């Protein structure tokens, strides 16, 4: 089973 | 006072077609340098970044920075009212709650005027650092679109494996499996048809086809698409290196001397095994 993280886990809020 | 005039109004139509199914509400940030937009899709899995340089417009005036929040579906509905060869002019007053869109027919005998209400959006901006990716694949955008469309008949995810000799796109599902292998092309007379691979190390990652199919809606903007990726990084390294960037340059349609006037970049995290 594959899952996907939110893109917010990868980029920091400015 | 903000005014931007684009003779090739079709560029704006194509940009809206490339983002409206992914992002509902977004803000255009207007500065003297140009217009830009950054937004996550509604499920916050991907991020889209659009940039149009001020010098890509035929006339551009931006006295002070403005944020134009709007519903992109509404904007798309209005932009669709412009003919493909219309000149589009975007106007906004200072502190206004609307923008005006003017569509000028080529013979200048007809001008359509539309207004669109602006929204106050609580946008969340993500910092996108300049990152060097280990693998960069440049390929015809229509080929990428075709591969994503075909493989989504087979499965939900595409596994991209890249080695020195070429790149393989594969998918597997209940009915079976499928794959497309592309070899790097020799230097050709038609650069738009070429496949170019630049890599430091081999890579194999999986991405959701649902999103890649959304990104491929930018195909009419550019003959080539660039995929930038990096292999899984060790624990402790910044995760952002794992994100795939799908980039389409926005060019003016000057056949003699086309120049890049902006870009659409889509960022998508890989699918990972639980």
Interface probe with B: pick from A8, A9, A10, most Cβ of B within 10 Å: A10
Q: Hey, are the CB atoms on B44 and A2 less than 8 Å from each other?
A: no
Tokens representing residue B156 in the block: 């939900």
CA pair distance A4, A9, nearest whole angstrom: 10
Q: Which of B109, B111, B267 is nearest to B101 (CA)?
A: B111
CA pair distance B269, B45, nearest whole angstrom: 7
Q: What is the pLDDT of residue A1?
A: 72
Residue B28: phi and psi, rounded to 5, are -90, 125
pLDDT in tens, B88-111: 999 998 777 999 999 999 887 899
Residue B241 has pLDDT above 90, yes or no: no
CA pair distance B10, B221, nearest whole angstrom: 10
pLDDT in tens, A1-14: 788 888 888 777 66
Residue B28 has pLDDT above 70, yes or no: yes
Q: Which residue on chain B is closest to A7 by alpha carbon?
A: B45
Which helix (H) or strand (E) segment holds residue B246: the answer is strand B244-251
Q: What is the pLDDT of residue B128?
A: 82
pLDDT in tens, B29-73: 999 999 999 999 988 899 999 999 999 999 999 999 999 999 999
Residue scoring higher pLDDT (B42 or B142):
B142
Q: Hey, are the CB atoms on A13 and B46 less than 8 Å from each other?
A: no
Do the Cβ atoms of B229 and B244 come closer than 8 Å? yes
pLDDT, averaged across chain B: 91
Angle, helices B10-19 vs B72-79, to 10°: value is 150
Residue B225 has pLDDT above 80, yes or no: yes
pLDDT in tens, B182-195: 999 877 678 889 99
Q: What is the pLDDT of residue B117?
A: 94
Q: Which of B53, B7, B9 is nearest to B32 (CA)?
A: B53
Q: Which residue on chain A is closest to B269 by alpha carbon?
A: A7
């Amino acid at each position: 089973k594959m899952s996907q993280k939110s893109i917010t886990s990868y980029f920091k809020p400015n | 006072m903000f005014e931007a005039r684009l003779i090739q109004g079709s560029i704006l139509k194509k940009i809206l077609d490339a983002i409206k199914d992914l992002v509902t509400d977004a803000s255009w940030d207007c500065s003297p340098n140009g217009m830009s937009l950054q937004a996550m899709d509604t499920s916050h899995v991907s991020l889209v970044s659009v940039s149009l340089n001020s010098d890509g417009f035929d006339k551009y005036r931006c006295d002070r920075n403005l944020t134009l929040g709007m519903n992109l579906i509404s904007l798309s509905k209005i932009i669709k009212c412009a003919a493909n060869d219309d000149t589009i002019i975007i106007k906004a007053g200072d502190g206004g709650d609307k923008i005006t869109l003017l569509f000028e027919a080529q013979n200048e005998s007809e001008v359509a005027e539309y207004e669109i209400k602006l929204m106050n959006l609580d946008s969340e901006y993500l910092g996108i650092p300049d990152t060097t990716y280990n693998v960069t694949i440049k390929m015809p955008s229509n080929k990428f679109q075709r591969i994503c469309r075909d493989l989504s008949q087979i499965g939900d995810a595409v596994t991209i494996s890249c080695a020195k000799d070429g790149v393989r796109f594969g998918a597997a599902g209940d009915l079976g499996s499928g794959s497309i292998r592309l070899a790097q092309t020799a230097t050709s007379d038609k650069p738009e048809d070429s496949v170019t691979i630049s890599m430091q190390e081999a890579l194999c990652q999986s991405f959701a086809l649902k999103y890649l199919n959304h990104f491929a809606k930018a195909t009419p903007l550019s003959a080539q698409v660039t995929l930038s990726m990096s292999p899984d990084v060790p624990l402790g390294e910044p995760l952002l290196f794992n994100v795939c960037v799908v980039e389409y340059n926005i060019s003016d349609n000057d056949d003699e001397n086309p120049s890049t006037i902006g870009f659409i970049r889509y960022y998508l995290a890989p699918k990972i095994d639980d």
